[in-house]
Amino acid sequence: MTTIAVSLTMLASATEGMWVVALLNRIQHAEMTNMGLNLTQEEIYSINQACLKDAIVRLNYGGCTGEVVSAQGLVFTNHHCAYDGIQTLSTVDKNYLQDGFCAKSFEEELPIPNFAISFLIRVEDVTAEVLGVVKPEMTEQERDKAIAAKSKEIAGRNKMDGKYEPEVKSFFYGNEFYLFVYQTYNDIRLVGNPPESVGKFGGDTDNWMWPRHTGDFSMIRIYANEKNEPAPYSVNNKPYQPKYHLKTNIEGIKEGDYAMIMGYPGRTSRYLTSFGIEQAINGRNPAIINGFGTKLETWKTFMDEDPAIRLMYAAKYASIANTWKYYIGQTQGLKKLDVKSKKLRIENQFHNWVDAGDADRKKQYGNALGLIKEYHSEWDGQVVLSTYAGLCLAGGAEFMGHAVEMKGALSAYLKETDRSKRIEMEKEILSGQEAFKKEYNAKVDEAVFVALVDLFRKNIDAEQHPEWMKTILAKKFKNNTAKLAAQIFKTSMVMNDAYLKAFLADPSEKTLSKDLGMQIAAASAEYADGIRAKNPIGKFNKGYREFVAGYRKMETRQLAPDANSTMRVTYGKIKNYKAADALIYDYYTTTNGILEKWDNSNPEFVVPDKLVQLIKNKDFGQYANEKGELVTCFIGDLDITGGNSGSPVMDANGNWIGLAFDGNWEAMSGDIAYEKDLQRTICVDIRYVLFVVEKLMGGKNIVDELTYYHTPVVEEKMLEMPIKIEPEPQPAPAPKKDPKKKK
């Protein structure tokens, strides 16, 4: 294996692409430099010296990005990225989520359970080794199995006795493979977060929208042992000393400025064909929207009635609401921007390129689109059924997944004859039950079960229903889902701790087999798995692998791989956009917009009294721009997706100017087709962040902890006598040519 310095042909037009940060080549770096970048490749990614990649972290809880911004391991990310952790630390009486929190010292920082942060150590090209196990005669299933085994072997020998966490990732649909080595820290503590009225200002209404005025940030800190190495939580741990941390630039942004984002984008589908667009619009997306929408509506009914339930379900609700609205916007974008036609043009070009080639080209790539078409003709008819089965049954009510795990654990408990092992198993079972119920309300989940099962029955023909609907629900409960749910939640060991403990004291196969909750959960999981097993995924994999390989050879421009939760860099300009006819959005917003949206009768647009006064008094301190305004958010034509939330936005020198947190509604189909004229990344300006920290949250200690970047200023001295400055001699102008004189 060779450590990568420069590799992979991954370039595209100006700003499109989420480029693998370890694989920037000279051509791409030159393009970045021409746009304004003042950093070398080694200053962005290096394994030999401290660089930007050492300040970018992956949040392993919530799938976001963060950045180290101080010499004491201080990390900033988005408010919504730490939302679940903040909720876990909150109670109704001490509601950090609603009221905010700000530690004034290390001692006041709060350990966040189950939170982890990873640093990227290095990247290595392992394509030759991985594909070396592939034989021409292999089926797709055999190929996948061989690659998985080799990837596991490569990762295993790079663990360094557990010091590192290696991952082998596929790129370009299995055409290339790279090893990513991480080091993970588990002692993570909450430093501060703004009140929800700031961190989530605009709520679901403003989500995915511009203009935006959301202070979407939170602060956490990494702790390490005395050797600065990862360690479990301990009062003796010290703030982590980073290899590199970002400097903060509060001098402000201007339209046209170079901007760059580094982070961990989760998933894109830029190579999706017209067949995939058709499936998304008419099959998968509407089912996802219906399933998530029903769950959200049910949750909200209970959340509006009870503050304790609202707090308990806040993070779950926010996460699903974000996804639900995303798929609504994506579907609209795919239709409005006619993405299918764009994909068809590419496919026609590909057909022509293959036909114009030699016999070898036709052999390698001639069947690619045909395989993809076959896949969709076989699977598209099952997509709606599979989606509803997953969202409404197997992955519907929260208890379903837990019940499947519980059934497996109790079955193993029944078979175990060793008393000491049974005692340990009992502890694990009861511990798992306690963990499940920590943020769980049975009444809410019962209502969700009823709503989602009925949604499934409404949208799926009766002959396709799982067997338990035809027998248990139809015959025993006369198709009354509410009565079935009431019986499950009253009698199942999954809900009733007394019944569970009675079973553990006197286990029996008969009792386990008659548990209605586990019976239906297991049957639903088996049903959903059975549908997914019919997916002819081998044709999909082979078709896209060949299509993408050929497409990369056909294209004169270089192409970026789809996002896959590996560190990427994207770059562009701070830039406005035209959203519609006669509607041009400016590139930044100010606190004036907060007052314009202010409505304390609407939970989404509440503004704290103190913030109102600070804005009205223009008490912005050093964070105001040259016009005396306080910029809240800005946009740029940077290419990001989910997972980039919390990523640092950096200037041409790699200094921190903001945090990325959203995309814009007009380009919601951008994960499938980049829209250069419309696609914008929404970022919270670092000046607004630090204003809130210092002025609203009282976190002057945090502001003082940062390292600041300042442009050198030439001092002007007052002179007693004016000095006449003679102009420098200029070369004589070239003699003018006589237009009448011919060569």
Largest CA distance in the chain: 113
For 587-650, the three-class secondary structure string (H helix, E strand, C coil) is CEEECHHHHHHCCCCCHHHCCCHHHHHHHHCCCCHHHCCCCCCCEEEEEECCCCCCCCCCCEEE
Classify residue 230 as exposed, middle or buried by CB count within 10 Å of its CB (0-12, 13-18, 19+). buried
Catalytic residue among 46, 54, 80, 669: 80
Catalytic residue among 170, 218, 386, 645: 645
Please state, in angstroms and rounded to a whole number, the distance separating the CA atoms of residues 563 and 567: 9
Type and span of the H or E element at 655: none
Do residues 20 and 10 make contact, with C-beta atoms less than 8 angstroms apart?
Answer: yes
Residue 639, both tokens: 């290419």
Please state, in angstroms and rounded to a whole number, the distance separating the CA atoms of residues 530 and 517: 20
Listed residue (121, 265, 293) closest to 663, CA to CA: 265
CA 228 to chain centre: 28
Residues 6+ apart with CB under 8 A from 226: 236, 238
Q: What backbone torsions phi and psi does residue 123 show, to the nearest 5 degrees?
A: -130, 140
Do residues 82 and 190 make contact, with C-beta atoms less than 8 angstroms apart?
Answer: yes
Please state, in angstroms and rounded to a whole number, the distance separating the CA atoms of residues 646 and 667: 20
Helix-helix angle 398-415:419-437, to 10 degrees: 170
- Residue 216 catalytic? yes
Please state, in angstroms and rounded to a whole number, the distance separating the CA atoms of residues 291 and 455: 8
Please state, in angstroms and rounded to a whole number, the distance separating the CA atoms of residues 249 and 709: 5
Listed residue (301, 310, 321) closest to 439, CA to CA: 310
Do residues 45 and 53 make contact, with C-beta atoms less than 8 angstroms apart?
Answer: yes
**Signed CA dihedral, 319, 321, 322, 324: sign only:** positive
Please state, in angstroms and rounded to a whole number, the distance separating the CA atoms of residues 329 and 334: 9
Collapse the DSSP code of 67 into the 3-class scheme (helix H, G, I; strand E, B; otherwise coil) and give the result.
strand
- Residue 645 catalytic? yes
Do residues 4 and 124 make contact, with C-beta atoms less than 8 angstroms apart?
Answer: yes
Residues 6+ apart with CB under 8 A from 583: none
- Residue 508 catalytic? no
Count of other CB atoms within 10 angstroms of residue 582:
6
Residue 732, both tokens: 């004589």
Q: Which residue has the tokens 């080595």?
A: 181
Residues 6+ apart with CB under 8 A from 666: 333, 577, 579, 580, 675, 678
How many DSSP H helices and E strands does the chain contain? 27, 22
Measured CA distances, 360 to 146, 414, 556, 643 (Å): 26, 60, 20, 40
Please state, in angstroms and rounded to a whole number, the distance separating the CA atoms of residues 9 and 656: 28
Task: Give the angle 400-403-407 at the CA atoms, nearest 5°.
Answer: 145
Listed residue (341, 269, 334, 331) closest to 547, CA to CA: 269
CA dihedral angle for residue 670, residue 682, residue 641, residue 102, rounded to 10 degrees: -160
Catalytic residue among 125, 187, 216, 671: 216
Residue 138, both tokens: 């292999």
Please state, in angstroms and rounded to a whole number, the distance separating the CA atoms of residues 60 and 646: 13
Rg of the Cα trace of the chain?
Answer: 29
Q: Residues with catalytic annotation?
A: 80, 216, 645
